[in-house]
Amino acid sequence: MHRTTMLVVCTLALALCAGSAFAVTTPPPDTLKVDYFSGANTGGNPLAQLRVINPNTNNNAGICAAIYVFDSFQEMSECCSCALSPDSLRTLDVNLDLTSNPLTGGTLLTTGAIKIVSTPEIAGACPLPTRVTPTAGVRAWVTHIQDNAYVTETASQDATFSSGEQTRLQSECFAIQLDGSGKGVCTCGVGD
């Protein structure tokens, strides 16, 4: 059993025993963006980047991008939450911000998936990605390193965000925060 999966099982058991299981309702549409990265942390390739914006669809309110990074074996490697003021742009480097601090502390990821959940700020700050309140808003693009070293950029895709997926993301990130000792926490790059 993978380490992250074991951490999630233990964390969920702990939460259920304590009577504090994650409260989840059906998320609204346009809250989950998905993408992939490839060719990361390999010498000679241009840097892949994730760009996220707040298009200001929430009445001049700041929102947060709760970011979850997965390895190619579907295990969560890193998670974090990044603030976005209205009409702002934040740029995250896949190598430096999203894959440089894996939970396992081992080999850096070269391929994987990125999930982004749009959530509102609470009292002017981003909540941990262990407690999101899905709200529509975040837009994202990722540059991809192709096999021939060409770089392409595509918009991240909308995906249906179920309450089960919300629980899973929050639980796995909670396990990372609880047991990672600082590992598994991504950083928010530059911009606002």
In a domain, 169, yes or no: no
In a domain, 176, yes or no: no
pLDDT of residue 30: 84
Tens-digit pLDDT string for the chain (192 aa): 455 455 444 444 444 333 344 455 677 778 999 999 887 777 666 678 999 999 987 777 889 999 999 998 999 999 999 999 999 999 999 999 999 999 987 778 888 999 999 999 988 899 999 999 999 889 999 988 777 667 888 899 999 999 999 999 999 999 999 988 889 999 999 997
Note whether 120 and 63 are within 8 A (CB).
yes
In a domain, 171, yes or no: no
In a domain, 54, yes or no: yes
pLDDT of residue 144: 83
pLDDT of residue 1: 43
pTM for the full predicted model: 0.84
pLDDT of residue 13: 44
In a domain, 1, yes or no: no
Q: What is the domain count for the chain?
A: 1
> Rounded to the nearest 10 degrees, how much is the dihedral formed by the CA atoms of 128, 84, 123, 173?
-10
Domain of 151 in residue numbering reads as 27-159
What's the CATH number where 128 sits?
2.60.290.11
In a domain, 71, yes or no: yes
Note whether 111 and 72 are within 8 A (CB).
yes
In a domain, 101, yes or no: yes
Note whether 114 and 37 are within 8 A (CB).
yes
In a domain, 44, yes or no: yes
pLDDT of residue 61: 82
